[in-house]
Amino acid sequence: MSIINKILAVPNGATFRRADLHIHSYGESGSYDVTDTQMTPVNIVDTAMREKLEIISITDHNSIGNVKMAIEYANEKPILVIPGIELSCTQGHLLLYFGDFDALQKFYGKLDFSKDKKTCNHTIPQCLEIAAKYDGVGIAAHIDQDAGFESVVSGYGPFKEAILECPNLLALELTKAENESWYSDRDLNDNRKRIFEKRREALKLDNVYDMARVLFSDAHSLAVLGRNASGNNKITRFKMDSLSFPAFKNALLDATARTRIEDLLPTAIPHFVGIMFEGGFLDGQIIRFSKNLTCIIGGRGTGKSTSLEALRAASGNNARESLVDSEVWPENVYLIWEDESGRKQLLVREKYGNVRNDSDPRDGLLYLPIESYGQGETAERIQHCDKDPNVLLEFLDSFGDFGNLKFEDETIREQLLQNQTLLERLELDINGIPDVTRALNNAKAQQNALKDQNASEVIELETSIVQERNFRVKLIKDLEMLINSIRTCLKSDSIDVLIKNLDPESLVAGKEDYDAIKQILEMFSKTIRTFSGDIENQSNTLITEINKHLRHWNDNEKLIQQKIDNIRNALAEKGVKLDISFIKKNCS
């Protein structure tokens, strides 16, 4: 087993697990509106595992017949099937989940349905109240669609308040990630925000509480299982330390930390994955790091400081020489780093050697800047602050952001020390050329990785289409101004007005000439009116032809935009999420 695989094999506590908890199955025991005969419990479990889902639930409309089969088939497989159901209540659809099938079955026996089994004759609060007796939890289904309670229950009165005040309604299911602010402090709708605040008051929740929001597939066919309404494979992750119903319930209760809609997550977050030691006091020890917070707890002399100093050393930062030279220091330290593109790199630091990159010996990074304070370093930094207050000020400033005040202070200091700073900067630049070169090569490697996935084609096409759209808009505007100006001139009655407003009665010497001029102008005005009709007809023909070409132009643009969307969707399925909003901004 490679060193990377050895480190990755060590568990690191609770992890985010992909879940699709809104799936419908086929048959008399399934959902009446499922026509895909392949949507059997067995196929659903197998497909879910291929889609790298760890938690699923078959939630048929007002039916639980296929749930038990899925639970039994998933037994001893790396997937959790949570017993569930979707009820078509009088106030909208409601998803309910239970710890085992027996609890689901007992709950189901307490319900009343219409003769055709298509409607549950209970309100959402009534169903949640019954479910609570069997430790069931609810999620309001697709609230931003027609069958969700947001549209079924009109207005924002007592009925909606009663739904949100149910203590075991733990989440809201959405179909669009952009609606994740609904029923929260961030909601732009004051009525929804008010109802959410009433939930906090009724259930005595603290001010930092936020309700879980989830995105599932609502799959009625195998093709869309594990995919959201937009068609991509971005659904929901729950942070759970085990595949169990209690862990799932805890993830909903602690939604801020343990529930994530994948559409709102970056493709990858740069972080240290884990570290392994060979030789010394920590020989054979492996530590997996959490992306959020890793705590190393132990008594005096158990290796806490050595572990953290080893991380500093293996990442190219300075470590305490006295500790490196000691007998407890490892002969080799192996550190895994995952960058923004999701690539894992193995950094190795020998006891008396330099850092090397085993994953990319030629261009791989050898230095990862981190902010760290070793044992006693904090005290050392501030022990002389009574003689030099700047020592303490600099230390305290590193923990805060003073905005413009600090910027202004730095600007003044830069002006006073300009020459000295310039020399120091040049010296640092020269010394840093090897690291900069490595960083550049590493960035190029990431860029090439994206280019191999057609990302560059998306950027080039998106840039061209935005520029061409701006060009077409300007062309249309200029043509409209030109045609309008021609029509305005042709329709002008300024000659007739001129003749009408002149009074020839006072003329003595020029009366005869004026009459001749008037006759010429009248003939010219008549000629203009004659040609005006012809040109008007020709301009209408011209406009029709131009509009035909503009429509064809627009159709071609849509075809290119479709090509862009297809490439972007293909990239998204590979985990590459492109943010190209800067293109429209720059092209504008």
Q: In sequence order, what DSSP letters do the residues of 87-102 get, joined into one string?
A: EEETTEEEEEE-SSHH
DSSP state string for 533-556: HHHHHHHHHHHHHHHHHHHHHHHH
**pLDDT attached to residue 475:** 78
Note whether residue 68 is domain-resident.
yes
Q: Pick the residue with more confidence: 586 or 241?
A: 241
pLDDT score for 323: 80
Q: What is the pLDDT of residues 9-42, one digit of tens each?
A: 887 778 899 999 999 999 999 999 999 999 999 9
pLDDT of 231-278, one tens digit each? 888 999 999 989 999 999 999 999 998 999 998 877 678 899 999 999
Residue 401 maps to a domain? no
Q: Which two tokens stand for residue 372?
A: 């760290």
Confidence of residue 144 (pLDDT cuts 50, 70, 90): very high
What are residue 365's phi and psi, to 5 degrees? -65, 145
Q: Which of 298-312, 337-351, 562-576 has the lowest mean pLDDT?
A: 562-576
In a domain, residue 385? The reply is no
Domain boundary among 264, 281, 302: 264
* Domain end marker among 244, 264, 284: 264
Q: Which of 228, 247, 264 is the last residue of a domain?
A: 264
Residue 524 has pLDDT above 90, yes or no: no
Residue with the bigger pLDDT between 115 and 322: it is: 115
**100 belongs to a structural domain:** yes
Q: For residue 208, is it within any domain?
A: no
- Residue 500's domain comprises 455-587
CATH code (residue 108): 3.20.20.140
DSSP readout, 489-522? HHT--HHHHHHHH--GGG-SSSHHHHHHHHHHHH
Number of domains the chain is built from: 2
Tell me the per-residue pLDDT of 204-237, one tens digit each, with 9 for 90 and over.
999 899 999 999 999 999 999 999 988 888 999 9
Report whether 336 contacts 345 (CB < 8 A). Answer: yes
Residue 576's pLDDT band (boundaries 50, 70, 90)?
low
For residue 588, what pLDDT is reported?
A: 52
Closest alpha carbon to 171 in 69, 97, 252: 252
pTM above 0.95, yes or no: no
Hey, which bits of 268-354 come out as E strands? 271-278, 286-288, 332-338, 344-350
Residue 109 within a domain: yes
Q: Where are the beta strands (DSSP E) in 251-406?
A: 259-261, 271-278, 286-288, 332-338, 344-350, 355-357
pLDDT score recorded for residue 294:
86
Q: Is 93 a domain residue? A: yes
Is 259 within a domain?
yes
pLDDT of 587 reads 52
